[in-house]
């Protein structure tokens, strides 16, 4: 190897090492300012550059860096006087050097970073990757420090590295912009959700208040009606005892029936309020007593029906609940059995009670008219009367289901027309800390 | 009285000195302690101060390590500081071999080449001048470095090498430091 080749090798060694450090520093950059700083501090170790300028274009984005005397700057979407020179270089597509004596080109650089008295020539190295992705590296040198052939190779390497890094930053910028948009939209959704949450809370509170008012109204109304009703029934009784006039007695009898019917309806409406009654107390339930009390209540109605009940009590664990509610359930079931018994056939009721899987199971069966399958889905509806001849108010089974649910229980019905009806009620045992 | 200091080998050194020796090997990336440190090993305070100056000026900063080695080599060679010229010449040339795999190429012998970027040559020339004749330093020296693209921070880092090299040379000459056997093998 001759001395000249040795020297060239040494120079290349220095430059490759400097380029390696430069590439490593550029790869770490995440901002344009950092790239400008790396260019300013490290480009001079790779090539002779009195002033440098980099123009990068990718789609609509245009970025320029320039540096002189250890200072550097970057411009986003620039369109200064040097850009025209750079675009011309890109169109030509080949490296070119312009000397200061080329007046036509030089006029472009007035008031630009290249307008320095020591600038002797400007070399532009364009690299076109595609029509909308290209880069130009321009280097201004002084008369005593001209570029040599090997410099162009390094300028090309610098250009490729920068184009790669800048396209990466633009992609990241695009992602960051979309993330910001998503974040903004998320904030909007969060605000809307918060507003919705407040609206739902307000409306729920309004509904709760209205519901509470309606319950109070129902409670007060049923009680307020019962006092004058009792007076009417008393006066009818008094009237009955004061006259022997058959017509008057018939009228009194009708009055009595109407008042009794109205009293029954008020009782049922009143029963719907039972679960909310704060005076309810948990107590041990004796189903035998409950059934007996209902039989006692309907003693007169049961007379002449041939009523017989068979009660199997296999309740192993004591059941604690609200006696008024359990009684009201049996009251309505037995009253239904009486109302819808089969004419000309003795009324039979079979009640089985047993404990199973933490539930008190009550199976209530009668041998009445049964329920038409067509009306089965509606029998628990409020004010639904399944039978045209029914004299009730359509509240009985609605009330039974409502009361069972208030005890966190469940009710099912099976029936065969003119054969039987069976209600199966499952009531959960209360856990110890509820007692 | 005999001129110079005694080299304190690793095994003879105090714990404090050993810790500094370990730092020098780790940060310089060499498996032995350079004589320049061993000759200060009998005074941990002086060794700590000089090592920190060497570390902050030569190993840290933004100016490339190779350029710093070339500057120290050049100054030491002119000042005929045998130990420093040899040591820093070996370090600079060893980097050349790593890349070219050619033992015959010596970077230190070709620093005037036109192929070497002028930023190296100007820095070596200006800092060498300032080290040899500090009182002659003028605005032109700073201007030259600035025109090469050096920022004021980098100029300060370069000028610190003038000071460091004078210190390295003085200490090596006063202490009578012998060239490390390990480096002799490299030659």
pLDDT digits (tens, 9 = 90+) for A353-383: 999 989 999 999 999 999 999 999 999 998 8
∠ at Cα A106 (A100, A108), nearest 5°?
A: 160
DSSP lists the bridge partners of residue A99 as A121
Phi, psi of A322, rounded to the nearest 5 degrees: -100, 115
Q: Do A145 and B118 touch (CB under 8 A)?
A: yes
Per CB-CB distance under 8 Å, the chain B contacts of A48 are 117-119
Q: Do A50 and B66 touch (CB under 8 A)?
A: no
**Residue B113 pLDDT level (bands cut at 50, 70, 90):** low
Query: pLDDT over 70 for what percent of chain B?
Result: 86
A179 contact B CB<8A = no
Q: What's the gap in Å between the CA of B90 and the closest CA on chain A?
A: 15
- Using CA atoms, how far apart are residues A202 and A229, in angstroms rounded to an integer? 40
A140 contact B CB<8A = no
> Among A355, A284, A286, which Cα is nearest to A315's?
A355
Does A289 reside within a domain? yes
Identify the residue with better confidence: A223 or B111.
A223
Q: Which domain holds residue A134?
A: 3-178
CB atoms closer than 10 angstroms to residue A371: 20
Q: Do A47 and B117 touch (CB under 8 A)?
A: yes
Tens digits of residue pLDDT in B147-182: 999 999 999 999 999 999 999 999 888 888 888 877
pLDDT in the model for residue A434: 65
Residues 61-80 of A with CB under 8 A from B: 67-71
Q: What sign results for the dihedral spanned by CA atoms A178, A184, A190, A195?
A: negative
Tens digits of residue pLDDT in A82-95: 888 888 889 888 88
Q: For residue B83, give both structure tokens.
A: 């130990």
Residue A44 has its nearest CB partner, among B110, B115, B148, at: B148
Interface size A-B, in CB pairs within 8 Å, comes to 92
Instruction: Write the DSSP symbol of residue A414.
Output: E
Q: Do B64 and A17 touch (CB under 8 A)?
A: yes
Of the residues A178, A206, A231, the one at which a domain ends? A178
> Among A416, A298, A331, which Cα is nearest to A367's?
A416
Count of domains for chain A? 2
Does A272 reside within a domain? no
What are the structural domains of chain B? 10-60 (no CATH), 65-175 (1.20.1290.10)
A22 contact B CB<8A = no
Residue A9 has its nearest CB partner, among B105, B146, B155, at: B105
Could you tell me if A47 and A166 lie in one domain? yes
ipTM over 0.90: no
Q: For the CA atoms of B28, B29, B33, B34, what is the dihedral angle to 10 degrees?
A: -50
Find the helix or strand (DSSP H, E) in which A66 lies.
strand A61-68
Mutation test of the interface with chain A: which of B122, B149, B155, choosing the one with the most A Cβ atoms within 10 A?
A: B149
pLDDT in the model for residue A116: 87
Q: Do B115 and A118 touch (CB under 8 A)?
A: no
Query: Residues B38, B8: contact at Cβ < 8 Å?
Result: yes
Q: For residue A180, give both structure tokens.
A: 């910001």
Q: Scanning every residue of chain B, which has its alpha carbon at the shortest distance from the alpha carbon of A14? A: B116
Q: Scanning every residue of chain B, which has its alpha carbon at the shortest distance from the alpha carbon of A148? A: B115
Mutation test of the interface with chain A: which of B68, B115, B139, B140, choosing the one with the most A Cβ atoms within 10 A?
A: B115
Of the residues A151, A178, A205, the one at which a domain ends? A178
Q: Scanning every residue of chain B, which has its alpha carbon at the shortest distance from the alpha carbon of A116? A: B147
Tens digits of residue pLDDT in A382-408: 888 877 667 777 888 999 999 999 999
pLDDT in the model for residue B137: 94
pLDDT in the model for residue B50: 95
* Residue B102 reports pLDDT greater than 60: no
Q: Do B149 and A40 touch (CB under 8 A)?
A: yes
Q: Which residues contact A360 (CB under 8 A, 6 or more apart)?
A: A315, A317, A319, A353, A354, A426, A427, A428, A429
pLDDT in the model for residue A402: 93
Q: Which residue has the tokens 């002119």?
A: B78
Strand order, beta sheet including A308-314: A308-314, A348-356, A359-366, A420-428, A410-416
Residue B66 has its nearest CB partner, among A11, A17, A67, at: A17
pLDDT in the model for residue A125: 94
Q: Do A48 and B118 touch (CB under 8 A)?
A: yes
Does A252 reside within a domain? no
Per CB-CB distance under 8 Å, the chain B contacts of A148 are 114-115
Q: What is the pTM of this model?
A: 0.60
pLDDT in the model for residue A219: 81
pLDDT in the model for residue A182: 95
Of the residues A178, A205, A225, the one at which a domain ends? A178
Residue B149 Ramachandran class (φ > 0 left, ψ -120 to 50 alpha, else beta): left
* Residue B36 reports pLDDT greater than 50: yes
**Residue A419 three-state SS:** coil
| Average of per-residue pLDDT across B17-34 | 92
Does A65 reside within a domain? yes
Residue ranges of chain A whose pLDDT lies below 70: 1-4, 6-7, 10, 103-106, 388-389, 432-435
Residue A7 has its nearest CB partner, among B113, B147, B151, at: B113
Kindly tell me the burial class for residue B89, based on how many C-beta atoms sit within 10 Å of its own C-beta (0-12, 13-18, 19 or more): buried
∠ at Cα A77 (A49, A34), nearest 5°?
A: 50
Query: Residues A422, A363: contact at Cβ < 8 Å?
Result: yes
**Residue B99 pLDDT level (bands cut at 50, 70, 90):** very low
The long-range contacts involving B92-98, CB below 8 angstroms and separated by at least 24 positions, are B92/B66, B94/B186, B95/A13, B95/A17, B95/B66, B95/B69, B96/A10, B96/A13
> Cα B20 to the chain's mean position, in Å?
18
Could you tell me if A26 and A148 lie in one domain? yes
Residue A10 has its nearest CB partner, among B64, B107, B119, at: B107
Q: Do A50 and B149 touch (CB under 8 A)?
A: yes
**Residue A316 three-state SS:** coil
Query: Residues A106, A98: contact at Cβ < 8 Å?
Result: yes
Chain B residues whose C-beta is within 8 A of a chain A C-beta are 62, 64, 66-67, 95-96, 99-100, 102, 104-105, 107, 110, 113-120, 146-152, 154-155
pLDDT in the model for residue B100: 46
Q: Do B104 and A1 touch (CB under 8 A)?
A: yes
DSSP lists the bridge partners of residue A68 as A51, A71
Q: What's the gap in Å between the CA of A62 and the closest CA on chain B?
A: 25
Does A320 reside within a domain? yes
pLDDT in the model for residue A81: 79
A53 contact B CB<8A = no
CATH number of the structural domain spanning residue A366: 3.30.565.10
Q: Do A41 and B154 touch (CB under 8 A)?
A: yes
Does A54 reside within a domain? yes
Q: For residue B150, give both structure tokens.
A: 């050096």
Q: For residue A32, give both structure tokens.
A: 């344009």
Q: Scanning every residue of chain B, which has its alpha carbon at the shortest distance from the alpha carbon of A38? A: B62
A43 contact B CB<8A = yes
- Using CA atoms, how far apart are residues B128 and B132, in angstroms rounded to an integer? 6
| HSE-CB of A83 using CA atoms within 13 angstroms | 12
CATH number of the structural domain spanning residue A10: 3.30.450.80
Helix residue ranges, H only, A29-148: 32-42, 81-92, 103-106
Q: For residue B107, give both structure tokens.
A: 């970077």
CB atoms closer than 10 angstroms to residue B112: 10
A317 contact B CB<8A = no
Phi, psi of A269, rounded to the nearest 5 degrees: -60, -40
Q: Scanning every residue of chain A, which has its alpha carbon at the shortest distance from the alpha carbon of B118? A: A48
Q: What sign results for the dihedral spanned by CA atoms A332, A334, A338, A344?
A: positive
Q: What's the gap in Å between the CA of A51 and the closest CA on chain B?
A: 8
DSSP string, A93-111: -S-EEEETT-HHHHGGGTT
Per CB-CB distance under 8 Å, the chain A contacts of B105 are 1, 6, 9-10
């Amino acid at each position: 190897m001759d001395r000249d080749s040795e020297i060239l090798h040494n120079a290349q060694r220095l430059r490759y090492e400097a380029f390696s450090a430069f590439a490593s520093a550029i790869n770490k950059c995440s901002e344009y300012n950092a790239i400008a700083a790396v260019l300013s501090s490290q480009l001079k170790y790779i090539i002779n550059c009195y002033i440098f300028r980099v123009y990068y274009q990718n789609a609509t984005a245009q970025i320029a860096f320039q540096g002189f005397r250890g200072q550097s700057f970057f411009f986003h979407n620039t369109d200064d006087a040097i850009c025209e020179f750079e675009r011309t270089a890109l169109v030509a597509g080949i490296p070119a050097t312009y000397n200061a004596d080329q007046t036509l080109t030089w006029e472009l650089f007035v008031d630009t970073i290249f307008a320095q008295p020591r600038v002797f020539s400007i070399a532009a190295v364009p690299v076109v990757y595609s029509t909308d992705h290209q880069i130009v590296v321009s280097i201004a040198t002084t008369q005593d420090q001209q570029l040599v052939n090997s410099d162009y190779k390094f300028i090309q390497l610098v250009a490729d590295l920068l184009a790669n890094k800048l396209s990466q930053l633009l992609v990241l910028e695009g992602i960051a912009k979309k993330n910001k948009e998503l974040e903004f939209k998320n904030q909007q959704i969060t605000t809307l959700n918060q507003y919705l949450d407040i609206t739902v809370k307000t409306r729920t509170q309004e509904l709760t208040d209205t519901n509470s008012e309606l319950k109070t109204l129902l409670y007060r109304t049923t009680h307020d009606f019962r006092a004058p009703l009792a007076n009417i029934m008393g006066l009818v009784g008094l009237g009955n005892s004061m006259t022997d006039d058959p017509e008057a007695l018939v009228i009194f009898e009708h009055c009595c029936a109407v008042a009794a019917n109205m009293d029954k309806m008020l009782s049922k409406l009143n029963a719907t309020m039972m679960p909310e009654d704060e005076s309810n107390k948990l107590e041990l339930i004796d189903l035998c007593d409950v059934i007996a009390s209902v039989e006692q209540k309907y003693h007169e109605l049961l007379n002449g029906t041939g009523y017989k009940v068979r009660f199997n009590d296999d309740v192993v664990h004591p059941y604690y609940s609200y006696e008024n509610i359990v009684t009201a359930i049996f009251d309505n079931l037995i009253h239904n059995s009486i109302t819808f018994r089969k004419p000309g056939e003795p009324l039979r009721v079979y009640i089985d009670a047993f404990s199973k899987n933490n539930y008190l199971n009550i199976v209530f069966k009668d041998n009445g008219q049964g329920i038409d399958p067509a009306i089965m889905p509606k029998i628990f509806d409020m004010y639904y009367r399944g039978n045209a001849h029914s004299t009730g108010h359509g509240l009985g089974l609605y009330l039974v289901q409502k009361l069972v649910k208030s005890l966190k229980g469940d009710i099912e019905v099976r029936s065969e027309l003119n054969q039987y009806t069976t209600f199966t009620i499952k009531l959960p045992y209360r856990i110890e800390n509820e007692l | 009285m005999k001129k110079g200091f005694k080299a304190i080998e690793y095994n003879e050194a105090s714990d404090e000195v050993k810790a500094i020796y370990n730092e020098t090997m780790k940060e310089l990336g060499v498996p032995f302690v350079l004589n320049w440190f061993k000759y200060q090993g009998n005074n941990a305070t002086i060794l700590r101060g000089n090592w920190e100056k060497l570390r902050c000026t030569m190993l840290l900063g933004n100016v490339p390590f190779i350029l710093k080695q070339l500057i120290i080599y050049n100054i030491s060679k002119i000042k005929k500081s045998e130990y420093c010229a040899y040591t820093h010449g070996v370090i600079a040339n060893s980097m050349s071999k790593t890349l070219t795999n050619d033992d015959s190429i010596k970077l230190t012998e070709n620093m005037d080449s036109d192929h070497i970027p002028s930023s190296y040559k100007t820095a070596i020339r200006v800092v060498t001048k300032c080290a040899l004749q500090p009182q002659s330093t003028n605005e032109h020296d700073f201007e030259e470095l600035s025109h090469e693209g050096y920022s004021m921070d980098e100029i300060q880092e370069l000028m610190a090498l003038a000071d460091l090299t004078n210190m390295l040379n003085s200490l090596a000459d006063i202490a009578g430091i012998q060239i490390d056997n390990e480096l002799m093998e490299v030659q």
